[in-house]
Amino acid sequence: MPVPVPTPVAAVAVLWIAGAVLRVLRLGTQSFWYDEAVSAKLSSAPAWDLVTGRVRDLGNPPLHNLVLHGWAQLFGGGDIALRASSVLAGVLAIPLVFSVARRLIGERPALIATALFALSPVEIYFAQETRTYALVTLLALAGFDALLRALERPERWRWWAVYAVATALCCYGHYYAFFVAMGQVLFVLVYHRRRSHLVPMAIALIAAAVMYAPWLPSLYAQMTTKGNLSRSADSWYMHGAISPLAFAVGTTLIWKGMAAAPRMALAALALAAFGGCALYGLRALRDHRRERALLVLWLLFPVGMPLLVSALLFPFYTIRYGLVAAPAYYMLIAAGVAALRPKLKTAAVAAMLLTGGVSLATYFTIRVKHDWRGAAAWLDQHAQPGDLLLFDADFNELSYARYARGPQHHLRMLPGTGADRDHLMATEHAGIPLRDVGADLASQPRIWVISSDGDPAFERMWETRIGAGHTRGEAASFRGIEARLWTAEHASP
């Protein structure tokens, strides 16, 4: 008796459920790191201040913070509650991957692409993070889905309207959405040059621009603030080099502190399997030039353009920003897998399941984010009320403060500039001017120095300026964090 083959709807439903379960699994285990702490803090800001840009997230637009603001009003501001907004976006994106992929690479490869997205370690990771990336991916997929439907029937204006709204919202979600739109425009100009396509496309883009216009003053303010849009100043090129691997198996197979030989071997296997299938997918789609071109542009613009900006102007690329291009990568991989001979297909799928499984198991079983929850709980037990808590970076104090319950005074260290470059500069709160705190620290009996991925330059300055009058005391280490007590030589421990 033949085994019944599941319908595409049933297969997508199974993948949808599997993807949802993985995105909910152990949702509150990892504590918030800095970026999430920023989002959580902004979620409590007045909605009008977020809309007008009076309160903003440095180099990011406001949509995710607005969504989170409303979400927190309904479900609260706890770790799980806030992360659930990204979970929902990640889950809703799964069927959209199938809808877009079916139009570009066919039904069976589309199911493979949907499986890759639903089970992707990096997509699961960012669907469990209180940041904009899952939301932007959802909106980008909605935009591509609407654009493809509109190009099929250009006289149906409703899909052009959906495309305009999705594009505007995507740009409100993250600035990399502009690169996505640039790729879409180039695709239409090259492959759909008929008036019936170009006119409604132009109108849709004008409508998206009108919807986005209220944010332009805030965008200008962000762009003209020196260093505001810069990211990964010392490692953007490494982010670019590792993107094909990170999009496939995330950053929990190899990354900082996870570069042992077995993991390096698994990474090489993953790159061969996923990257090799993506390249083969380009070959398999040689008779579908339009579809292949759209996938290449989708992948090239949100990754290649920021890398070009990073090389020529200022550092601008990180893996998390480029994630909006990952669905195109999965579709190329899926086209390659579908075209492979049976034995090679079995080997490739086995390699993908093995390496992806190890990455997911790592994420779900060990702490991969900075453990501010654990550090705060330990310091609440060991720090005395009169102690000073000194953080080696401004942003670390914000992460710590989310979980801390103690009464201690906090100081945020920031690098001095100009004449203050060699001084210990700090502030109590964001927005308060920096001041030299060297004399204050020298007279402080007990100081807890809390560092995250410690800066050697700061540690040397600390030893030179303050360490001579203090002695090392107890210390504790947490994931990415170290807390150490320094006691003045004249003070009791």
pLDDT tens-digit map of 233-248: 778 999 999 999 999 9
In this structure, the answer to whether residues 383 and 470 fall within a common structural domain is yes
Cα–Cα distance, 461 to 45 (Å, whole number): 36
Query: Count of domains in the chain?
Result: 2
Do 169 and 231 fall into the same domain? Answer: yes
* Integer Cα distance of 139 and 211 in angstroms: 15
Position 1 in a domain: no
- Indicate if 422 and 316 belong to the same structural domain: no
Cα distances (angstroms) measured from residue 76 to each of 43, 87, 88: 10, 15, 16
Structure confidence at residue 66 (pLDDT): 95
The pLDDT value recorded for residue 146 is 98
Q: Residue 477: give the domain boundaries.
A: 372-488
Residue where one domain finishes, among candidates 341, 365, 389: 365
Q: Name the 3-class secondary structure at 412.
A: strand
Residues 448 and 344 in one domain: no
CA distance 24 to 18: 10
- Answer yes or no: are the C-beta atoms of 98 and 8 closer than 8 Å: yes
Q: Which long-range contacts (CB under 8 A, 24 or more apart) does 453-460 make?
A: 453/480, 454/392, 454/482, 455/392, 455/393, 458/392, 458/413
Q: Quickly list H helices, 250-341.
A: 261-270, 276-284, 289-312, 319-322, 326-339
Buried/exposed 175-199: b ≥16 CB within 10 Å, e otherwise? bbbebbbebbeebbeeebeeeebee
pLDDT of residue 278: 98
- Smallest Cα–Cα separation from 231: which of 222, 220, 219? 222
**Same domain assignment for residues 338 and 398:** no
Q: Is residue 493 part of a domain?
A: no
The pLDDT value recorded for residue 393 is 79
Is there a single domain that holds both residue 155 and residue 295? Answer: yes
Residue 456 confidence (pLDDT): 65
Residue 93 belongs to a domain: yes
pLDDT computed for residue 109 by the predictor? 97
Among 336, 365, 394, identify where a domain stops. Answer: 365
Residue among 180, 171, 176, 174 nearest 207 (CA): 171
Same-domain status, 428 and 305: no
Q: Classify residue 170: in a domain, yes or no.
A: yes
Residues 356 and 384 in one domain: no
pLDDT digits (tens, 9 = 90+) for 447-475: 999 988 766 666 666 666 666 678 888 99
SS3 313: coil
In a domain, 156, yes or no: yes
Last residue of a domain, one of 328, 345, 365: 365
Asked if 232 and 211 touch (Cβ cutoff 8 Å), the reply is no
Instruction: Give me the pLDDT at residue 255, please.
Output: 81
pLDDT of residue 259: 78
Residue 2 lies in a domain: no
pLDDT confidence of residue 53: 83
Q: Which two tokens stand for residue 32?
A: 């918030």
Question: Is 401 found in the same domain as 360?
Answer: no
- 335 and 440 inside one domain: no
Considering the domain architecture, whether residues 93 and 121 belong to the same structural domain is answered as: yes
Q: Which residue has the tokens 């690329």?
A: 317
pTM beyond 0.85: the answer is yes
Q: Are residues 103 and 219 in the same domain?
A: yes
Asked if the structure places residue 27 within a domain, the reply is yes
**Sites in the chain below the pLDDT cut of 70:** 1-6, 416-422, 454-468, 490-493
